[in-house]
Amino acid sequence: MKKSSSGKRGLNYGTVPLTQLPKGRKGKHHRLVSDILADLSALRRGSALKVPFSKLKGEKLTNVRSAINRATRSRGLNVTTSTDEENIYIWKK
């Protein structure tokens, strides 16, 4: 840390008022998860979403599944996922 002329240690980095900070985090899975959440809200009972792995755009399935889990829990949705060789399936419990 640098000392100022008053002898106090100054900050190493700049500051920003909290009112200027972004209000949310848009991670790299934001668009995909938003689309899945929108589809889940319109999903009929007894049905599951079928999302082909090709739609994951090279992202690891575990990371996408975690992102879905975080998003649904924060919204109070209770969902289950399953996979086969080509798709991830998501449905409401």
Residue 49, SS3? strand
Residue 44, SS3? coil
Taking the whole predicted model, whether its pTM rises above 0.75 is answered as: no
What pLDDT, on a 0 to 100 scale, did the predictor assign at position 35? 94
The 10s digit of each residue's pLDDT in 28-66 is: 888 999 999 999 999 999 999 999 999 998 889 999 999
Question: Cα dihedral sign for 13, 17, 19, 20?
Answer: negative
The 10s digit of each residue's pLDDT in 20-30 is: 887 776 778 88
Question: Cα dihedral sign for 51, 52, 58, 61?
Answer: positive
- Strands (E) across 5-72 are located at 49-52
Residue 87, SS3? strand
